[in-house]
Structure 1
Amino acid sequence: MPTTEKRRSTRIELDYLKVQLEWTDDNGLPRHQIVSCMDISQIGIRFECPFPFSLGSYVCITFNPGTDIAISVTGQVCRCATQALDTFHVALQINLEDAPQDFGEMN
């Protein structure tokens, strides 16, 4: 049976590109972790992580951390799904107001 695509924008596969996450934990402490980014679209990012995030959490993702071409965007967790081998696939909805000016114009 054919399925209908529900996504509003095309995903670009990133082949598990390493990115840096930054967030505040439940105790108000700043945290950071290097994780594998799976894909990105105009409105979202999906990454693989060794622990879950709560829905609604805010996370900052930095591409090319520690370089002159580092780019950071902020997003809100909209999905967190358990995968095999105790990993989690986490989806963020990107806050385009905080994104670089040309980021929202990706095709």
Structure 2
Amino acid sequence: MNVDTALPALAALAHPTRLEAFRLLVRHEPEGLSTGELVDASGLTQSTFSTHLAVLVKTGLVKSEKLGRQQIQRADIDTLRELMLFLAKDCCLGRAELCEPLLAELACC
């Protein structure tokens, strides 16, 4: 990942509705959620939520798959991993011991 791909992803997550939807999808990996379930969880109308979902899909944070008559949305864990690595790549100027608390926090959850 580079700045050109990280910035749109970070901008997409900077909106409360999109951030909550993405976090909800991460919690429901690997099975994902239907678009209807996401709309219900958001409390928004279908059309308003679809706009937010389109932003997440465009940035590669969410993958959409047709399953029967439903659209199943899934968090793209590979994109999330790339974004997190991009943010932490130069963590503590290569001094791993300074990043250990962050890694420990991630490992416990």
Kindly indicate which of the two structures has a greater share of residues assigned to strand.
Answer: 1
TM-score (norm 2): 0.29
- Name the larger-Rg structure: 2
TM-score (norm 1): 0.30
Kindly indicate which of the two structures has a greater share of residues assigned to helix.
Answer: 2
